[in-house]
Amino acid sequence: MAIKVLLVDDQKIFRFLASEWITEKFGNNFCFIEASNYSQAVEKFITEQPQLVITDIQMPGENGIELTSFIKNKKHDIPVIIFSSSNNPEYRGTAVRLNAFFSDKGSEEEFIAAFKKCLDIIC
């Protein structure tokens, strides 16, 4: 059965990039569910019940930190990767406090390492 991955970013190119990196490194055993903002992500999180979430921090309206808090309050053990183009140490610290992983959008290596840790949790 395919692993459901919720990809949340207001920029379609980054949702595409994340799915490509995952498919290239880990194969086709994934079902990607896409959302471009907090509201869509919450709706799809509830209806689709993904096993893993990857979210941008900066989006219109509520941000990825708020989304991660919502998700962790609903299902604390779900792995979340906060994916950002800002390598702000405060964001990394917030990710740790929320029991989430952080990855710089510009670092495929860091993203793949975080994704592998997520797979280790769910598999």
Give which of 73, 72, 76, 56 is closest to 64, Cα–Cα.
56
The pLDDT of residue 121 is 95
User: What's the pLDDT score for residue 34?
Assistant: 98
Output the pLDDT for position 92.
83
pLDDT at 105: 84
User: Which architecture characterizes domain 3-122 according to CATH?
Assistant: 3-Layer(aba) Sandwich (3.40)
Residue 69 exposed, middle or buried by CB count within 10 Å (0-12, 13-18, 19+): middle
Kindly list the domain boundaries of the chain, sorted by start residue: 3-122
Q: What is the pLDDT of residues 33-53, one digit of tens each?
A: 999 999 999 999 999 999 999
* Mean pLDDT of each 10-residue bin along the chain, 123 residues long: 96 95 96 98 98 94 95 96 84 90 90 96 92
Beta carbons of 53 and 101 less than 8 angstroms apart: no
